[in-house]
């Protein structure tokens, strides 16, 4: 079943980055934030955005958190 979809504007607000930054990430593959593209419409699954954030969770600057 499909999870809730977010627009690039909603994702940029959640992550604190610009829509342009999201476009750069998509085109360069810099980060593995999954997206859905239908024609020219770009959408992000809320589960994918949450997973993206959890991958970047750190206890301090040198070690990622243990994810279990």
Tally of CA atoms within 13 A in the half-sphere of 1 that contains its CB:
2
Q: Answer whether residue 53 is part of any domain.
A: yes
Q: Above 60 in pLDDT, residue 1? A: no
Q: Answer whether residue 32 is part of any domain.
A: yes
Q: Answer whether residue 57 is part of any domain.
A: yes
Q: What is the largest CA-CA distance in the chain?
A: 41
pLDDT at 45: 97
Q: What are phi and psi of 52, to 5 degrees?
A: -55, -45
Give tens-digit pLDDT for 6-64: 999 999 999 999 999 999 999 999 998 999 999 999 999 999 999 999 998 876 766 66
Domain encompassing residue 55: 5-61
Q: Answer whether residue 68 is part of any domain.
A: no
pLDDT at 57: 84
pLDDT at 14: 97
Number of domains in the chain: 1
pLDDT at 58: 77
């Amino acid at each position: 079943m499909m999870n809730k979809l977010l627009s690039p504007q909603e994702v940029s607000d959640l992550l604190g980055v610009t829509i342009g930054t999201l476009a750069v990430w998509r085109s360069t593959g810099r980060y593995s934030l999954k997206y859905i593209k239908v024609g020219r419409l770009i959408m992000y699954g809320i589960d994918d955005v949450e997973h993206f954030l959890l991958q970047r969770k750190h206890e301090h600057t040198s070690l990622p958190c243990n994810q279990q």
